[in-house]
Amino acid sequence: MVSLKSHPPIDPTLPTWIADLQHSAAAALADLSMPSPKLEEWRYVDLGFDVGTFGMAAKGQPSSLDIPFRSEVGALAVTDGGIAELVNELPTGVSFGSVRRSGEDYVAERFGAGIPGGRDVFTAIHQAFADDGAFLHISSGTAVAEPFTLEISATQSGMISLPHLTVVVEDNAEASAIVYFTSEEDVEAVVLSQVEVTIGKNSHFKLTVVQQWGDKTRAVADVAYTMADNATGTFTEIGLGGAYSRIRFDAKLVGNGSHMEIVGAYFGDSDQVLDYRYFLDHIGVGTTSNMFLKGAVEDDAESVFTGMIRIEEGAQKANAHQTNRNLILSDGASAQSVPNLEILANDVRCGHGSTMGPLDKDQRYYLMSRGLDKAQADRLQVKGFFEEALVKVPHQQIRDELRIAINDKFVAAQSEGRV
């Protein structure tokens, strides 16, 4: 084990830019503690755990991460340290592999740049101790039709995992990725993940994240997009598990005409806490964004959504909308939804909205009048509620598995009399 309050051990094989990030974050970590719900960015949640009680694998010990890659456009194997290595060729113009051992020229200036290492104790731990990760680099003019698919699994109880993915999409390029986060039910781990995406001019990158953590795993994820002129970013998150599962998403629409599309669907049961914090910063002229999230909670589960769309003074002609809708399926469940706008420009179109409530009794009555029993009617309502979000998932090939996973959660609760 290594102390979270100490500087990471000096590793002479580390690139200088990683070592500098580590020591800067470690210095910030010394003054940080677990976040309090009194802080705006952590309002509505009581974390109920202390990351300092978890350990971290020292050098030479087995990694707490298992990272199998499942990709139609390039298979990768995993070393003992949990680092992916290419075992067959990728398409021309694509690089995928270890941040530490290759790709330094175009990763060094971006690694850690979009997610400040001293923002909170979790980002500081990640940048102080994560000395590697995977990168995906798409060269200018390259288009990859099939998605890269990555599964990251936490495997050791009592340990902290630090998965990191840096994506660089150069100008006039296109690619996409699906990332699965998983753990077994008995793995009581903390996973602090970071995903950084930089999208060049006239380029498009789609990322879908599916979180299927076990009920004892706590996960805190940071995702950051930066977009150039006429770039299009798509981010989709499907939240289906975890004792505590949080995503902070930041998008900087720097380039003129850039666009961000966000889709989300989450379903909490038992005493899960699903926590979403989204920040979109419109900087360039004529930027657009659309955020659409739907969630449901049952048993004693809680969901939290806070969204902030900021339109900078120079971001004229911006067009931005955010929507969050929630189903509360049990008396003990709760949802918080707080969309926000901060508008500094005077020629914009912006809107936001949120709803929360139980299943519609009138719809239930109508469906039962057409021959369905109560359980079937409620099941159809839940299915229809999520379908509006699931049809927006950009990777069509996984929509059916997501429908099944969401339906199974509700059917299990029905069969056990929990809803």
Mean pLDDT by runs of 10 across the 419 residues of the chain is: 56 80 86 92 93 69 40 39 50 80 68 82 90 86 88 86 90 94 91 95 98 95 97 98 97 98 98 98 98 98 98 98 98 96 97 95 97 97 98 96 96 95
Q: 256 is written with which tokens?
A: 């003129």
Q: 181 is written with which tokens?
A: 């986060």
Rounded Cα gap, residues 206 and 233, in angstroms: 6
**Residue 4 pLDDT:** 62
Residue with tokens 């989300």: 264
Answer for the pair 51, 124: CB distance below 8 angstroms, yes or no: no
3-class secondary-structure state, position 39:
coil
Q: Give residue 271's Cα distance to chain centre.
A: 20
Rounded Cα gap, residues 224 and 386, in angstroms: 25
**Residue 102 pLDDT:** 60
Count Cα atoms within 13 angstroms, Cβ side, for 58.
7
Answer for the pair 143, 111: CB distance below 8 angstroms, yes or no: no
Count Cα atoms within 13 angstroms, Cβ side, for 213.
32
Rounded Cα gap, residues 23 and 14, in angstroms: 12
Residue 318 makes CB contacts below 8 A (sequence gap 6+) with 282, 286, 287, 288, 311, 345, 348, 349, 350
Backbone φ and ψ for 170, nearest 5 degrees, come out as -75, 180
Of 162, 174, 148, the residue nearest 115 (C-alpha): 162
Neighbours of 404 (CB within 10 A): 10
Please give the span between the terminal C-alpha atoms of the chain, in angstroms, as a whole number. 43
- How would you classify the pairing of strands 244-253 and 232-239? unpaired
3-class secondary-structure state, position 285:
coil
Q: How many helices (H) and strands (E) does the chain have?
A: 6, 21
**Residue 89 pLDDT:** 64
Residue 104 CB burial class (10 angstroms; 0-12, 13-18, ≥19): middle
Output DSSP code: residue 14.
S
Of 363, 344, 323, 204, the residue nearest 281 (C-alpha): 344
Sign of the alpha-carbon dihedral angle for 27, 32, 33, 34: negative
Residue 181 makes CB contacts below 8 A (sequence gap 6+) with 152, 153, 191, 193, 209, 210, 211, 212, 213, 219, 221
Residue 31 CB burial class (10 angstroms; 0-12, 13-18, ≥19): exposed
